[in-house]
Amino acid sequence: MTRTAYKYNDIIHRCFRCGYCKFPTNWDDVNNCPAYARFRLESYSAGGRLWLIRAWVNGELEWTEHLAKIVYACAACKNCVEKCPLSFSDEIVNMVIAAKNEMVELGLLPAPVKSFLKNIQLHGNPYGISAKKRSQWMEGTRVETYSNQEFLYYVGCEGSYDTRAQQAARALGELLLKAGVSFGVLGKKEITDGNEVGMMGEDGLLEWVVEKNIKQFKELGVKKIITLSPHSYNAFKSIYPKFDGKFEVFHYTQILSDLMKKRKLSDLKEIQKKVTFHDPCFLGRWNKDYDSPRNVLKSLKGITLVEMERNKKGALCCGGGGGNFYTDILGGSEDSPARIRAREAADTGAEILAVACPNCLTMLEDAVKAERLDDKLIVQDISEILAI
Amino acid sequence: MDAVYQALVKIVGEDYASNRPEELFTYSKDLGTSEPKFPDYVAAPKTAEEVQKIILLANKKKVPVVPLGGGMSLAGLALPLQGGIALDLKRMDQIIELNEKARYVVVEAGISNGKLTAYLHKHYPHLMHSEPGAPPAATIGGNIAIHGQGDMAHPYGFNSDMVNGMEVVLPTGEICKFGSCSIGSGWYTLHPLPDIGLFLGWNGSTGIITKISLRLFPCKKIREMDLFVVEDEGLIPDLLYELTHVGMAEDLIAFTSAIPPFMDGVHHISMNITGDTEEEMEFKRHLLLDGKLARYIQDGTGGIGAVSQDIQRPQISKSADWKKGGGFEYVGSIMPVTAYPECYRRGAEISTRHNIPYTVLGRVIGSAHAMMFSWSYAFNRADPETVRHAREALHETDSLVLELGGTIWKPAVFGQKLMMDRMDSNTLQMMKKVKNLLDPNGIMNPGNWEVNE
Ligand SMILES: Cc1cc2nc3c(=O)[nH]c(=O)nc-3n(C[C@H](O)[C@H](O)[C@H](O)COP(=O)(O)OP(=O)(O)OC[C@H]3O[C@@H](n4cnc5c(N)ncnc54)[C@H](O)[C@@H]3O)c2cc1C
């Protein structure tokens, strides 16, 4: 059956499958598309995926669980967008999301994607943990709930529920307090930002989430938001304005970078360590901010910042985007992008792999352990490094 | 469960073997106008030993095996014409050895040109290999399997002339080495042992190349492209003769195209020159521009198009989107340089007949011993009529190549047949004997270079 409603019927055929999209900016290797890196079959490359989507929407191929797996294996990292030389390149990830829209409409989804979305609907988070437990991360901290402070500190699902990411959420809270920033959190009232819901093609649920958040933010008088996760940053910055939700949005590294410039975070400990930084896709390629996290790290005394071969717009994604941190389609192999990235980080000789995203934090920490590199390399969120 | 599939899973692991419709669909198509040809299986081995096991399995089960590199050759050469196993070699992508002083690198055949270039750039910036103008995902193995040419075609010849040694899995499963590496003496030369290499230019129909030693060349610090333009295509052969006499350029390409309109009928000669110092550059520029081109400028027949341009990695995939249609295919030919004017004129006629803006290009090989002349035809993948036109134009061009005294390069099956129809019958029979001897079960990329009588 043809899918006439598919939004990109007029351009999807324009991919030549030349394979530029597999490379990073420095042409280092063909494995800079996380899904292709993991499976190394053409079907999982950005071009292969577009050709398969086209075949499906044209009725040449039937939907199968495997087709859906290929489509949902896209981590929405935008490496393809960066590298494709053709004029429609900006739309590549959108073409994949639009295919997910169609699958959602038909109710044809891989099981973990279904449960991700169901959990969001039921609990406001993908983990399926009760909304009541959302504020547990802040127990024992001096972080307050939001009531007209200057900033809303939006923690996000990982920071709220994932035990590892909670540490980063707490560290950031402490730092902001230390710097005297006026902020509060939503605690139990917080729900998902919807970024991954959108990336997974569930537009109806996205709308529901976004409207609910906007209503709450507006009722509370929120004007400025600091996010722990670049995914939330992207949602509030790029998706919410389309629903009339206009806020001043900052990723926390932008706030910290500014605070350090103004010397409001000056009594930080000196750390004599070699550090490498992993760019999160939703801060980097999606929002073109490669400097803020680096500025923070560079202004820390004692730190030597070394770059991985693939960095900034050429960085290899950890493989957690597009909901993959939960669905784990790209996991389970030494070719999982997070494990490749862990090896790259270790190759720099760094002792700390710094991240600025709770998704990357959990993905890369697991990868470092799987690679048995944890005796020489630790993964830390920038907030944690500063809070030491 | 399918026994061949299960055996493949056992050899390469579950992630890298498939008989699912999605992979079969993906590997049934290439980038050009070829009709889809479905494999029955897809496998992506990591080592020569895995390739060997797959070949032994294929012999046992009488299943064809079709090697695939980047899949960029466009002419359907890696499509499984008779089904079987599509063997994606891109996981075999390691750099095994680089001998700086002897200027060679040993790589696994599935490595991309992009990766090798990046590696050299980073670790040996004073060395380079001859990279084809193809998308960088094209593999070294695929390129030499079709006698490709690239940056160093002028003055060193085909990329397959730059091979110092090879490891090949024969169609019967033996792993063989060719060149000095076969006697344990390193990978520095293919000669002077008796010539038993029967794998270059065979489109993978006589074996699977798994390792290659490639010659590297000095990569100078400064690189630039200079452009010379003339309106009279009749001048191109003489110009190329003159320019190759001084031997200063690394790459010489004559080209023109209907789009953009200012290029229409204007023949550009791009000259890539390199040097370690400004002095060296100036010397080369002087020999080429003042020594050989000044007189064309003086008599008003030619002019400098540009000097000292950066040499960019070619972004040729853009030609695929001229018709906003994601497709193009070209006929490549190996031609005497003297044929340039006729190649251009007749090619433009074919293009006009099929309502495709013409794009033609002649890359000099050796000291103008020949050129690779190509005619590109863009099409809209979503419009079967334009695909049909491009296909017909390609076929007409194949015939034109032979009419003009050329040889079709990386011919599709259609072009292979045209050439074999004209081939000296003893040569043809020799090809047949070679193929039968090496591949008694006819499993290797069947349909390619297949002698039927
Ligand atoms: C825009 C564009 C520009 C191009 N410009 C050039 C150019 O300047 N110079 C040039 O030479 N080519 C050019 N090409 C053609 C082609 O892309 C290259 O020759 C490329 O290097 C082929 O390599 P591949 O890995 O893509 O081969 P594939 O297409 O995968 O394979 C080519 C053939 O070799 C066989 N094969 C592949 N790997 C092996 C192996 N390891 N052992 C045995 N057989 C094997 C396949 O079965 C097939 O028959 C161009 C193509 C495009 C699309």
Contact present, B255 and B200 (Cβ < 8 Å): no
Confidence of residue B10 (pLDDT cuts 50, 70, 90): very high
- Number of compact structural domains in chain B: 4
CATH C-level class of A120-257: alpha beta
Does B102 lie in the same domain as B187?
A: yes
pLDDT of residue B313: 67
- Euclidean distance between CA atoms A158 and A242, whole angstroms: 25
Give the mean pLDDT of A267-275.
Answer: 91
Give the mean pLDDT of A365-372.
Answer: 98
Give the mean pLDDT of A324-337.
Answer: 97
Across chain A, the runs of DSSP E, i.e. the strands, are: 151-154, 183-184, 224-227, 248-251, 274-277, 304-306, 352-355, 378-381
Identify the H or E element spanning B43.
strand B41-43
CATH value at residue B9: 3.30.43.10
Contact present, B161 and B189 (Cβ < 8 Å): no
> Any idea where the domains of chain A sit in the sequence?
13-109, 120-257, 269-387
Which residues, other chains included, contact B236 with Cβ-Cβ below 8 Å and sequence gap of 6+?
B230, B254, B267, B269, B337, B340, B341, B362
Residue B441 in any domain: the answer is no
pLDDT of residue B376: 94
A131 secondary structure, DSSP code:
G
pLDDT of residue A266: 75
Token readout for B406 is 């050329």
Under an 8 A CB cutoff, do B22 and A86 touch?
Answer: no
Domain boundary among B259, B279, B314: B314
Cβ atoms within 10 A of the Cβ of A299, count? 18
Q: Which of A27, A92, A309, A310 best tests the B interface by mutation, with the highest count of B CBs <10 A?
A: A27
Residue B445 in any domain: the answer is no
Residue B378 in any domain: the answer is yes
Domain boundary among B88, B116, B137: B88
> What mean pLDDT value characterizes chain A?
96
- The distance in angstroms from the start CA to the end CA of chain B is 39
B164-212: pLDDT as tens digits: 999 999 999 999 999 999 999 999 999 999 988 899 999 999 999 999 9
Going from the Cα of A183 to the center of ligand 1, the distance in angstroms, rounded, reads 59
Token readout for A221 is 């008088």
Residue A54 scores a pLDDT above 80 = yes
Give the mean pLDDT of A294-301.
Answer: 95
CA distances from B405 to B13, B338, B339, B412 (A): 49, 10, 8, 18
Burial of B432 (0-12, 13-18, 19+ CB in 10 A): middle
Which residues, other chains included, contact B353 with Cβ-Cβ below 8 Å and sequence gap of 6+?
B393, B396
Does B103 lie in the same domain as B184?
A: yes
Which residues, other chains included, contact B1 with Cβ-Cβ below 8 Å and sequence gap of 6+?
none
Ligand 1 interacting residues, C-beta cut-off 6 A: B 66-74, 77-78, 89, 109, 132-135, 138-139, 141-143, 145-146, 148-150, 203-204, 208-209, 316-317, 445
Across B158-250, the runs of DSSP E, i.e. the strands, are: 163-169, 175-179, 208-215, 217-218, 222-230
pLDDT of residue A184: 98
Residue B77 scores a pLDDT above 90 = yes
Token readout for B102 is 């002897």
Considering only CA atoms, which of B26, B107, B336, B65 is closest in space to residue B203?
B65
Does B127 lie in the same domain as B54?
A: no
Going from the Cα of B72 to the center of ligand 1, the distance in angstroms, rounded, reads 5
Residue B439 in any domain: the answer is no
Q: Which of A20, A29, A333 sits opposite B135 (nearest CB)?
A: A20
The residue type found at B307 is: V
Residue B407 in any domain: the answer is yes
Domain boundary among B292, B314, B336: B314
Residue B65 scores a pLDDT above 70 = yes
Does B254 lie in the same domain as B346?
A: no
B356-369: pLDDT as tens digits: 999 999 999 999 99
Contact present, B47 and B53 (Cβ < 8 Å): no
Helix, coil or strand: residue B377: strand
CATH value at residue B122: 3.30.465.10
Under an 8 A CB cutoff, do A18 and B135 touch?
Answer: yes
B294-313: pLDDT as tens digits: 999 999 999 999 888 888 76
B147-176: pLDDT as tens digits: 999 989 988 999 999 999 999 999 999 999
Going from the Cα of B24 to the center of ligand 1, the distance in angstroms, rounded, reads 20
CATH C-level class of A269-387: alpha beta
pTM: 0.97
- Same-fold call for A120-257 versus A269-387: yes
Confidence of residue B1 (pLDDT cuts 50, 70, 90): low
pLDDT of residue A2: 83
Cβ atoms within 10 A of the Cβ of A223, count? 14
Q: What domain range includes position B327? A: 317-417
B161 secondary structure, DSSP code:
G
B308-348: pLDDT as tens digits: 888 876 665 566 777 778 899 999 999 999 999 999 999 99
pLDDT of residue B196: 84
- Euclidean distance between CA atoms B174 and A340, whole angstroms: 33
pLDDT of residue A34: 98
